[in-house]
Amino acid sequence: MRVERGASQILFGLLPGQTVDLEGRIWKVAKWSDPIVVTIDQETVRSVLLQAAFPWTQNDKDDGLAQQLRTRTPIEIVKLNEDRGVLVEPFPKQWRCKTCNRVTQQAPGDRCKCSAIKNWAQMQFVAFHGCGASKEPYIRRCPQHNAVAVRLPGTESARELFFYCPECPKFQQYGFPFQRCECTSDDNKNAQMSINVHRAGQVFSPQFAVVVNPPDPADAARARATGGGAKALEWVLNGMQESNPTAGRQTPAELIAALRQGFPGLSDETLNDMVQRAVDSGEMAASDTPPLDLPQAVLELAQEEALNLSSAVLTGRVRIREMVDAAGPPLRSLYEGRYLDAVAEARLASVDLLTNFPVATLAYGFTRGDSTPGESRLVTFKERGRTRAYASLARTEALLFQLDPVAIHRYLFAARCHLLTPSGDARNARIDILRNVTMPTPVQEDPQQLGRELLTVLHSYAHRTIRKLSTFAGIERDSLAEYLLPHHLSFVVYAVARGDFVLGGLQACFETNLHRVLEEIAEGESRCPLDPGCRSGGGACMACLHLGEPSCRWFNRFLDRSALFGRSGLLSL
């Protein structure tokens, strides 16, 4: 049997171990035939999967994934081989005669004892366990006649199925009998299997992670090995003016970063001495900027985010100033006037169009049972002893928003009374924020106050932007997603790719209606329809700021309208 499906349909609906309806029958996916190995930067994959699997890791139910990632064991990433497709097999192998209701494991087409021919309906129920196992449910048969029939209740409840012998009235039973799993799971001492219809979310719930803007592995390794993170960080601190952030000669800061990457055991004193010797000998020019006085952990995170930003713009970036130079008189007036005014009024440093933004969706495992993250055991995909993730790679359009660092610094310094150093300079404002911030994780319960407030204003701004953009761009809200770069006060709104097709709504909005979007963000209605309840309950709800799970990877946490509006809000200062 050959059935045509798109690559994205297969990723979301035809993963190994998953059941699917095809051509009027039920099948289970055995494997992807000869999938193609995809090279994605393993450091990026490691970071994303550790975050995605955290709810299972903290409950010790992650199938050893976190330990594997921390020891830097590679994850095999594969995509669909469209010439070979997916191999499926009939499942469950149980059929009911629609004439007499007898249940059998015969292949469809065989004659039933009631003389009906080719009148079989496949049973839809599956026995499953949290360990990942699934099989046909055990059905007792009449011990005297070795036969069984079933009367369907008209619902999908397995408990209401009535089994009986079609030959005698002695054998009758409601529901399926107890069925033990063959695993040695600690989750259930009896290892009892549950039974449900094959389409139920409890039977198979795939778990996905989105790797946004994955860099080319060779480029990423080369950048890290040569201290490219330091160069990228300097590029961000200076306002991202250059088109190529990695160009130019290596600086002392970059050499220190490269040496630290290659020789992690060297002390800072030794590293500085080596660099100074290179400068004194004339082999390297002295830096014209003082070294960054940042905690090492923050410096590494800031450099990694800067590398992510640089890889995003290298794939294609359009800036407003470039549109000014290329536009005719009517549009030039629009871009120079209302566009730049709207950017400033919205407390932004810039808005750029990313024309070729890469997004990789990874299916890294599944659960059976409770689909709440961390409740059931996570089962990772494995092939020949190696952990595998199934991927769909796409290029899409995106908008990069950079908040004005001076405005953010003023917001944190004045409105939130944080002890930052007063600054009217963008570079110094960025450095001062980096020096004092500890950014929270998506699930952290007691984060640093400055990190929480900075993330809250950035995240709230991103959600408000998505909700406004969806209207102007003509794109469903759930078809837009966010990518936060909090250390650099930036976020990306990208269109969720559907196959190889990109609608172009964000580009059209950027070229014609950006000023209206920004005006609506800064000056549009800021009240919530559910106020005052929403305001007293945290200032964010489904009616004003919340987004669906595909759009928000931060679980709708760190959101508050008061961070944007009101007497102390960013857009009110």
The model's pLDDT over 236-247, given as tens digits with 9 standing for 90+, comes to 998 888 877 766
Q: What is the pTM of this model?
A: 0.74
- Whether residue 110 lies inside any domain: the answer is yes
**pLDDT tens-digit readout, 301-341:** 888 888 888 888 888 899 999 998 888 788 888 998 999 99
Q: For all residues of the chain together, what is the average pLDDT?
A: 86
Domain assignment present for residue 557? The answer is: no
How confident is residue 14, by pLDDT bands cut at 50, 70 and 90?
very high
In angstroms, rounded to a whole number, what is the distance separating the alpha carbons of residues 196 and 155?
11
- The answer to which of 354-358, 384-388, 502-506 has the lowest mean pLDDT is 502-506
Which residues, at least 6 apart from 187, have a Cβ–Cβ distance to it below 8 Å? Answer: 130, 131, 377
> How far apart are the C-alpha atoms of 286 and 356, rounded to whole Å?
37
Q: How many domains is the chain built from?
A: 1
DSSP result, 342-394 = HHHHTTEEEEEEEEEEEEEEEEEEEESS--STTTSPPEEEEETTEEEEEEEEE
| Cα→Cα distances 299→161, 292, 412, Å | 62, 9, 21
In a domain, 418, yes or no: no
For residue 169, the enclosing domain spans 7-207
* CA dist., res. 408 & res. 386, Å (int): 46
Measured CA to CA, the distance from residue 71 to residue 413 in angstroms comes to 41
In a domain, 127, yes or no: yes
**Residue 439 within any structural domain of the chain:** no
Mean pLDDT along residues 252-269:
67
Does residue 41 fall inside a structural domain? yes
pLDDT (tens digit, 9 = 90+) per residue, 379-416?
999 988 899 999 988 888 999 999 999 999 999 987 66
Among residues 170, 171, 152, the alpha carbon closest in space to that of 162 is found at 152
Is pLDDT above 60 for 4?
yes
Q: How many percent of the chain have pLDDT more than 90?
A: 47
Tell me if 177 is assigned to some domain.
Answer: yes
pLDDT of 249 > 60? The answer is: no
Q: Do the domain assignments include residue 39?
A: yes
